[in-house]
Amino acid sequence: MGLFRRRPKLPAGRRPALEPDERILAWAPTDGGAVVVTNRGLFLPDTAGRLDWHRIHKATWSGERLAVVPAEVVQERAGYAVVADQSPVSYPLAEPGDVPHQIRARVTRSVGFSVHHRLPGGGVRIAARRVSGVDGLTWTVRFDPGVDVSDPQIGEATDALVAAARAGT
């Protein structure tokens, strides 16, 4: 086989339901399923629906296993959302193809701005992410473990930090 050998098509039984403007960029088989990368996000086995790029906090590739840490919105605030990590999921990929590269490129590309600030008890990461189909940036914050998020002063400080970041971008 040569340089231009094509990867087999994703079997119909493993193909997720796609939106009209969504297209598959890469895929890799797993035990009983497939990891499917699209221009809009990531479909993982044993999960319902697509994990959009801006909802992936971290993805790592060990050379054998793909590990993904999704983020979930835990609170909506004026102009931003507070997010927290969900449990990581991991999949062995014997034939990863272009999946790890595509995931890294898409997650990285979704980050428009990121900065960490110290707060009492830890810190806060402020990020602005690009969301497919949405104009502009979507702002999120993730508090470090140990930060008392119920403290009104923490909320006020975070509001001010997000406002300053938005004004500066």
* Domain-embedded: residue 7: no
| Domain-located, residue 79 | yes
User: Residue 160 in 3-state DSSP?
Assistant: helix
Token pair 């497939």 is at which residue? 34
Is position 10 within any domain? no
Please name the amino acid found at residue 156: E
User: H helices within the chain, ranges in order?
Assistant: 99-110, 152-168
Structurally, how many domains does the chain consist of? 1
pLDDT at 1: 44
Task: Enumerate residue ranges in the chain where pLDDT < 70.
Answer: 1-7
The CB density around residue 45, as the number of other CB atoms within 10 Å, is 15
Helix (H, G, I), strand (E, B) or coil at 167: helix
Q: What is the pLDDT of residue 12?
A: 85
pLDDT value of position 6:
64
CB 86 within 8 A of CB 130: no
Residue 12 lies in a domain: no
pLDDT at 5: 57
Structural domain including 120 reads: 20-168
Q: pTM of the entire structure?
A: 0.88
> Is 116 contained in some domain?
yes
Query: Strands 33-38, 24-30: parallel, antiparallel or unpaired by DSSP?
Result: antiparallel
At residue 164, the pLDDT reads: 97
Contacts of 83 (CB under 8 A, 6+ apart): 57, 71, 72, 73, 74, 140, 141, 142
User: Residue 39: what pLDDT?
Assistant: 95
Q: In Å, how far from its chain's centre is CA 88?
A: 12
Instruction: Identify the CA nearest to 19 among candidates 33, 47, 38, 46.
Output: 38
